[in-house]
Every structure is written in C-alpha cells, then in structure tokens.
Amino acid sequence: MKLLAIDASTEALSVALRYDARDVLVEHFEIAPRQHADKLLPAAQALLEAHDLTLAGLDALAFARGPGAFTGLRIAAGLIQGLAIGAGRPVIGVSTLAAVAARAFEHAPAATHAEIVQDARMGEIYTARFMRDSHEPLGPERVIAPQDLVVDAAADTVRAGNGWGLLEIDVPETLRYPHAIDVARLAGAAFQRGEAVSPEHAVPVYVRDDVARKPA
C-alpha cells in the first residue's frame, strides 16, 4: 500500500512514506523544537517527489494522534486533515505511545512487554504498557506524576520514551522519540483492519485536556 505518515508530538518531527508492493518504508527525522509548522509540509513534499508519488496516489494518510505536545498535535492533525481533504484520502490516527512501543519491540526482539514513558511537561508523564503483537495498550494511556509510576522491573520488559529521565532512568537515544516510520507501520495494519476514517475525524488525543492547569 501507499501511505504518508507524520509525527509532531515531541520536539522531534518526522515524515515517512510507505510505498510499492513490498511496503518499502523511508523516513525524514530530525530534532526541531518549535519548527514543526515550518518543516513538516516541505519534508512531506520532498519525500513524495523523491519517489514520484502524489497525495492523490496514496491509499491513506496517517499521523501520531497523541498524547504529546499540544501545539505539535494540533499542527499534525490540521496538516493531515488539509492534505487528506484536498486529496480525497482517508486518515488513520495512531497512538504516539504505541508508535514508541513498536520501535522498542523492534530494537528488543526478546522483549514481550514495553513500558512507555513520555515527558508530558508540567512535572508529569504520559505512560502506557504494551504487549508484543498487540496494537492496543494493556490499560488506559495515563498522565501521572513520575513518582506515581510503578516501574516494571521484569527482564522481558523494554523501556522507551523521552520521559524516563524524570525518573533518573536512562534509555537509549534511539528509543526516546516517536518516529513516523513506526506510525506508518502501525497505520498500514490499521488500514487493513478497516480503521481508516474521513479527514474530519482526524483529531488529537490529548489524554490531559487542560493545558493551562498546574499539577498539584
């Protein structure tokens, strides 16, 4: 299938393209704080042009729907809606935490579980646990204080996400950020399950809706 995916849920931004019968995946990734609005669209256009594709020639578009940075999620949702409406293509929203988990499992082939912790700012974290080969978290995606997390110390659990530093636990740099290439992988499977939606339903999932509040 042919699919364009974007992520803007952290200070990183990425765009990925899944194309041809072999489902080849390519990606542009960079750390670019506060530059998502300027860089995402040119990166997507460059990727499409490099592989002689157009938006209208895609099967669907996908984006990391959150949780994550509020501004980044709004930028990603707005961009993907506009592109999808213009091209007449459906949209697939993928959990940011699920995308990080997919990356973690790829880098830790012996792991059966992944514990994801993303920095939610304001002294909090987004977190969820996943089982290998399952596209749904084992429980709800949550926003909590770092000290309230019960860390899974099992040997078969891989840790990933950019929030582990708040618990003074180090994870490899390759596992700290979501990547659009993992969003594309998960979106392809979701498309096959019939989970694509019309563009107007491509909305962010914040988990924490009140951006202005301060944690107690």
DSSP line for 13-55: EEEEEEETTTTEEEEEEEE-TT-HHHHHHHHHHHHHHHTT--G
Length of the chain: 216
* pLDDT tens per residue, range 75-87: 999 999 999 999 9
Do the Cβ atoms of 213 and 70 come closer than 8 Å?
no
φ and ψ at 145, to 5 degrees? -75, 145
pLDDT tens per residue across span 171-184: 999 999 999 999 99
What is the side-by-side strand order in the sheet with 142-144?
Answer: 142-144, 124-131, 113-121, 157-160
Does residue 216 register a pLDDT over 50?
Answer: no
Strand 113-121 relative to strand 91-95, pairing: unpaired
pLDDT at residue 137 tops 50? yes
Q: In 3-state terms, the chain is what percent helix, strand and coil (to 5)?
A: 35, 25, 40
Whole-angstrom Cα Rg for the chain: 16
What are the tens digits of pLDDT across the range 39-56? 999 999 999 999 999 999
**Domain covering 97-175, topology:** Nucleotidyltransferase; domain 5 (3.30.420)
Q: Residue for token digits 């042009």?
A: 49
CATH architecture of the domain covering 3-95+177-201: 2-Layer Sandwich (3.30)
- 96-129 pLDDT, tens digit per residue, is 999 999 999 999 999 999 999 999 999 999 999 9
Find the DSSP H helices in the chain.
36-50, 70-87, 96-107, 180-192
Q: How many helices (H) and strands (E) does the chain have?
A: 4, 9
Instruction: Give 75's DSSP letter.
Output: H
Residue 100 corresponds to which tokens in the numbers above?
């990080």
Tokens of residue 103, six digits: 């990356």
> What pTM, to 2 d.p., does this model score?
0.94
Residue intervals in the chain for CATH 3.30.420.40: 3-95+177-201
The CB density around residue 140, as the number of other CB atoms within 10 Å, is 8
